[in-house]
Chains A and B, each alone.
Chain A
Amino acid sequence: MLNKACAECGVIVEIKNLNTKYTYKCPRCNYTIVSSGERFSYILSMSATALLFFISACFLPLMTFEIGGSSISVTVIDAITKMGYEGYWIISILSLYVGVVLPLVVISLIILILVPRSFNYSTDSERAYLKVYTMLRPWAMAEVYMLAIVVSAIKLKAVAIFTLHSGVLFFILFLVAFYASIIWFNPEDIWQKYEIQK
């Protein structure tokens, strides 16, 4: 028998014979109390894919603008290095941080946690990684950044003639793979192993 408490209303729920295939909900407020994530191997391959998409997106051009006969290509590296100016660098850094850097950090943490786990051993740093993951995850706003790219493209149409390149596609694929990874990964699956140990 397992005793769990609802994190959103405090009700204690007794679970007899926990089945990891089931989702357990709070009887009072309907909060999901227990819901196991995907298999570690699936999450790991999805996160690795996300990372590969991101690296590809960095080296490919995002878009080309045409003005007065000349054309300019923009890459992710350009977008990162040329953003700050005249004191509004705070906006640029904040956007880049929660839209791109944090999703990247979160994906790297999943990989750092799950690689040793898939060889069935736990490292000392695993607990620290898990805590940082739980702390940072709510601030990773990849899906909002994705919509912002779409809106920017629509707005840019009014300003300049431009063509989108494969870099944008890979960046969107990165965001999708990122989103799948964080939905599949549940840190409680790993904490549970510590709980059983003690």
Chain B
Amino acid sequence: MKYRSDIDEKMTLCLSCHTLQFEQNSNCYVCDNEIHQRKPNSLKISFIFLISAFLFLIPANILIMMSSVEAGTLTSKTIFGGILFFFKAEDYFVGTLIFLASIVIPFFKIISLSFLLYVAKYKKQRYSHVGIKLYRIIDFIGKWSMLDIFVVAIMVGIVQFNNLALMIAGPASFAFATAVVLTILAVEHFDPRLLWSNDEQ
């Protein structure tokens, strides 16, 4: 079966209200949003966000995420150190959760999106179906990386300001939050329609 695409029919889909229309208009006739057949400069913008996200992930994993006083001494932990701490305390549930959110998801997203950019850029259409599945996974799991950032913000907010204990957010929290926001922006700017050829059989 041969599929007809919007490009074959010289039509444009509005991504804001999902109305299909003829491409001579520059704005959607229903919602007045700017319309393009494909997101403009999708691959370039997505690639820039991806590289920046990767650069921020390096300090995020080396620097201190949170410092706190435990048994009278000040201890500082990196993201990975915090995860190890949970496993040592036999708190496997929280340890696994933070490991998934802070380590697995960000790196999985960066590797997957690099693969998607490769498939779209070099028109490797035999990977279209795998690509679209990966795209949906990384689009869905992206925001869960914010878990540890939220936890740090809540803990520091509650604990520090009621003088319960000393707890300070470290510079890694800023680097990590920036990296997560950048990966979400990279996925948002990627146009999944570029994974497919326009005249696939």
Contacts and interface: CB of A to CB of B under 8 A. Distances in A.
Interface residues of B, number: 67
Contact of A159 (B94, B143, B159, B195): B159
A195 B32 CA distance: 12
A180 interface: no
Contacts, number: 179
Contacts of A151: 94, 97-98, 147, 151
A9 B154 CA distance: 40
Nearest to B198: A10
A95 B150 contact: yes
B16 A65 contact: no
Nearest to B153: A95
A152 B154 contact: yes
A181 B146 CA distance: 22
Contacts of B159: 156, 159-160
Which of B7, B128, B156, B177 counts the most A-chain CB atoms under 10 A from its CB? Answer: B156
A182 to B, nearest CB: 13
Contacts of A39: none
B143 A144 contact: yes
Interface in B1-55: 1, 3-9, 11, 13, 15-20, 29-33
A63 B157 CA distance: 13
B158 A95 contact: no
Interface in A119-148: 127, 130-131, 134, 138-139, 141, 144-145, 147-148
A17 B136 CA distance: 29
A149 B77 CA distance: 20
Given A99-B150, A160-B164, 6 more contacts: A3-B11, A6-B193, A78-B161, A151-B151, A191-B31, A194-B31
